[in-house]
Chains A and B, each alone.
Chain A
Amino acid sequence: MEIIVLLKQVPATESLIRIDDDGASIKTDDIKWVVNPYDEFAVEEALRIKEAHGGSVTIVSVGPEKASEAIRTALAMGADKGVLITDPGVSDFDSLIVSRILAGALKEIPFDLIIAGHRSVDKDNSQVGPATAELLNIPHISMVIKQDITDSKIRCHKTVEGGTVVLEMSLPALITTQRGLNEPRYASLPGIMKAKKKPIDVKTIMDSGFDGDPIGESMVKTIVMKPPRERKDGIMIKGDSNLAKAAELVRILHEEAKVL
């Protein structure tokens, strides 16, 4: 079973996010970078499938050179090799361009199954997985919480409003992960030392077989980024008795918040 994991490096959720002077990107100085959490589920699931069925796990990422750190983390978890397609302008690529680059690169790598996070926690578009499957002309199932492979079919569970649905498709195929699929393992210290010797193939966009103009052909552009509105402080309602406080609360809800 040859398994590909599509992986993205994203800012850690606890990082301090500040908008850059252009108003449409973030300052990257103090940011801690991590593997996109949904992609961690993907790596874990790929490793479990490999452990059950044999084969190998290849990590593929489109990102800045720094993204090799995220690939290295996946290698330390147990993946076998990595491919990084890198370009300095990558943060301006739209999801379709990233998918086209990935699909182009994946034509060169044999695979039975591709696993991707269903979304990246930075741009939150939920597009790259499905779009890549479309471009490769293979079936896909999104937001999987359980899977089972027998012969050349994969059966997947996904949650829908009010219940679970079970779907099946033939391999080769692509699935995207949802929280609940698994509990990702740690990159262990011995794993980190082993990862040191595992190969990461770093390519430019051109080398990867993409011959377009990735920024020029990106159809979706970021216009402006705004930080979330700062939450106002709560107010403590004062009063001599509970009754008085309740009355004051009703007054505020009615007169100031105008919800009653």
Chain B
Amino acid sequence: MAERKLFTGGEFLVTEPRSDDVFAPEEMTREHKMIYAAANDFVKREIDPNIAQIEEKSEALTRSLLKIAGEIGLNGTDIPEEYGGEGMDKISTGLVSDVIGGTASFAVSHSAHTGIGTLPIVYFGTHEQKKKYLPKLAAGEWVAAYCLTEPNAGSDALNAQTTAQLSDDGKYYLLNGEKIYITNGAWADIFIVYAKVDGEKFTGFIVERAFPGVSSGVEEKKMGINGSSTTSVVFKDCRVPVENVLFEIGKGHKIAFNILNIGRYKLGAGVTGGSKMTIAEASKYANAREQFGKTIGSFGMIKNKLADMSIRTFMAESIIYRVAAMMDDRFRTSAIGAKTPATENAKMLEAYAVECSIAKVYCSECLDLCVDELVQVFGGNGYVAEYPIERMYRDARINRIFDGTNEINRLLIPGTILKRALQGRLSLFDEIQKLNNENNVYSFDPTKLDAALLGIQKYMLTTCKKILLISVGAAVNKFLDSLAEEQEVLAMMADIIMEIFAAESGLVRAQKHAAAKGEKKAVYHIAAVKIYMNDMVPKVVHWAKQILVASAEGDHLSDRLAVVNKLSAYPPVDTIKLRRLIAEKVLKTKRYPF
């Protein structure tokens, strides 16, 4: 196999990747599969039998489970070996999150601990800080929490009011302020805390619970994830030694935002695991529940739901492992390891900010679709607390809120791309220019198609990229510097960008699978892509036209609308038949079918 091209973030919009450039989950190594199996074993043996007790919010139980996870190595995939972890690739980290993602509240405690709680030290800590904290965190002896949000600093995270004042003897900082909605808040032994030095320099600190002046508030009463701890954490004249400053004074935003990138990726992997579980639950029930003398799984509308859940999850999974491999490739370009300087790590983590936001938004909304349809498949039984389904529905909802709301992430996706285009890091404007100069933008012509498998879909994907560029070009032209104020336009751009990334990841995956195993074995992959693209193109066209109408008028507008119309004409596929095909497989195997 040819070596994967090292992509820059957002580059997928202006290039056509070869299939060798996109990693597909089918290419996992033997060790990856074993890691997946090990994590699965852990969940089956330790979590599943304890779910009810975990949901009662038991610190002792969750701590003991985190310790067992530590013994198996499930807390330390991102931690270098010399600090007690395994220093594995991001695909492995993704696999662990994927499997543990189906474990309700434990998934939240585990992910806050191993993700945003631990990673700031992994990527931004000094050797001494790593040596002191990481082995304990990897072992699950200590639990970590991430303290960024404040009453007046939610999405506007830099508006923090927590302060840090250097003591007269210069030996410690005095932290004062309140952080809210802190996952693991009542249980954590260490906190990654952001505070402003002298009231202005936003800075990260490692704060131990044992330091004087740290206290946790009462447990929040929440809609879901009730087995996890969520409290405020108050710092009152809290004495933090100067050696516990994380990275540099005034550079806290570098930590905060870059850690959120990787946190978003991990969240995406976790909720994808959650989605897979909903498919298993729904298919088991659809096979068992009878109405009108038949199992409900034999009805077309239930099949439709099972197929939709599976197709969306297929795309989510394709995104997750594609992004994981991109990050791995990027990390491999540097002298990866324990000694990589924090500034270098910051660059690595920043590289795929767009893709990480896509993973977060796309996959959390996939889970929402899945839990919603799951309740519907269960009907009344999905609404009563006797079954776990209503809990899954409530648990899922937080994922669109934490680690940056999906709205913030929708602004970040086009915002980051446009910023990089302006900095010359992405050839977006050149491509837009090229399109404007392209006089004969052709309409659908089957003779020009790639004869390869899924050629029409590949063609439509390229078309969607063109449609995006046309609309972005118009919006930039109209709004110039004030585009940031046009949130509705940006959100629609984000939606198009996400759909393109998802469809491309799934498309290349299906093509690769067919090339490796033959078209017969890839029949479900192929069906998923055909259905997805068929349904996606009209949505993309709708959003693009809305952006155009908001951005242009007169001939300028009608010319562009005409081009979009011309580009987007293509033959529809029989998605009813294909959805049934996928649903049959789900019903037969009683699980996520890919």
Contacts and interface: CB of A to CB of B under 8 A. Distances in A.
Interface stretch (A2-10, A135-143, A185-193): A185-193
Interface string B1-35: 00000000000000000000000000000110111
A193 B31 contact: yes
A188 B34 contact: no
12 contacts: A69-B34, A76-B34, A186-B42, A187-B37, A187-B38, A187-B41, A188-B72, A189-B38, A189-B88, A190-B73, A193-B31, A195-B34
B590 interface: yes
Contact of B34 (A16, A30, A73): A73
A58 B218 CA distance: 54
B86 interface: yes
Contacts of B73: 188-191
B71 interface: yes
A191 B41 CA distance: 14
Contacts of B30: 69, 72
Given A72-B30, A186-B72, A192 B590 contact: no
B340 interface: no
A192 B34 contact: yes
Nearest to B86: A189
B225 interface: no
A57 B415 CA distance: 58
A196 interface: yes
A192 B41 CA distance: 14
Contacts of B31: 192-193, 196
A188 B33 CA distance: 13
B89 to A, nearest CB: 11
Interface in A28-82: 30, 69, 72-73, 76
Given A72-B30, A196-B31, A188 B38 contact: yes
Interface in B75-108: 76-77, 86, 88, 92
B349 interface: no
Nearest to B92: A189
A192 B588 contact: no
Contacts of A16: 588-590
Determine chain A's interface SS by DSSP, over half rule: helix
A240 to B, nearest CB: 25
Contacts of B588: 16, 30
B74 interface: yes
Contacts of A192: 31, 34-35, 38
Interface string A178-218: 00000000111111110110000000000000000000000
A189 B589 contact: no
Contacts of B71: 186, 188
B157 to A, nearest CB: 33
Contacts of A190: 73, 86
B86 A186 contact: no
B585 to A, nearest CB: 9
Interface of B: 30-31, 33-35, 37-38, 41-42, 71-74, 76-77, 86, 88, 92, 588-590
Nearest to A16: B589
Contacts of B38: 76, 186-189, 192
B411 to A, nearest CB: 37
Given A76-B34, A196-B31, A189 B77 contact: yes
Contacts of A188: 38, 71-73
Nearest to A18: B588
Given A189-B77, A190-B73, 10 more contacts: A69-B33, A73-B37, A186-B41, A186-B42, A189-B72, A189-B73, A189-B86, A191-B73, A192-B31, A193-B88
B439 to A, nearest CB: 52
B37 A189 contact: no
Nearest to A34: B37
B74 A189 contact: yes
A208 B33 CA distance: 29
Given A186-B41, A188-B71, A189-B72, A72 B86 contact: no
Contacts of B34: 69, 72-73, 76, 187, 192, 195
Given A16-B588, A73-B37, A186-B72, A193 B42 contact: no
B590 A189 contact: no
The CB with the most chain A CB atoms within 10 A, among B34, B37, B76, B77, is that of B34
A47 to B, nearest CB: 15
Contacts of A195: 34
B561 to A, nearest CB: 48
A191 B88 CA distance: 13
B589 A30 contact: yes
Closest 8 CB pairs of A and B: A189-B73, A192-B34, A188-B72, A186-B72, A188-B73, A189-B86, A187-B38, A190-B73
Nearest to A15: B589
A30 to B, nearest CB: 6
Interface in A105-125: none
Interface string A8-32: 0000000010000000000000100
A162 to B, nearest CB: 30
Contacts of A186: 38, 41-42, 71-72
A42 to B, nearest CB: 17
A195 B73 CA distance: 14
A192 B38 CA distance: 9
A72 B37 CA distance: 12
Nearest to B87: A193
A193 B86 contact: yes
Contacts of B42: 186
A126 B589 CA distance: 30
Contacts of B33: 69
A69 B37 CA distance: 11
A189 B76 CA distance: 9
Nearest to A68: B30
Nearest to A75: B34
Contacts of B37: 73, 187
The CB with the most chain B CB atoms within 10 A, among A16, A30, A190, is that of A190
B99 to A, nearest CB: 12
A188 B138 CA distance: 13
The CB with the most chain B CB atoms within 10 A, among A30, A187, A192, A193, is that of A192
A191 B77 CA distance: 13
B303 to A, nearest CB: 18
B38 to A, nearest CB: 5
B292 to A, nearest CB: 15
A195 B30 CA distance: 11
A191 B86 CA distance: 10
A24 B513 CA distance: 31
A196 B588 CA distance: 35
Contacts of B41: 186-187
B287 to A, nearest CB: 11
Contacts of A76: 34, 38
Nearest to B73: A189
A196 B30 CA distance: 9
A195 B33 CA distance: 13
B540 to A, nearest CB: 35
Nearest to A77: B38
Nearest to B34: A192
A179 to B, nearest CB: 15
A87 to B, nearest CB: 21
B42 to A, nearest CB: 7
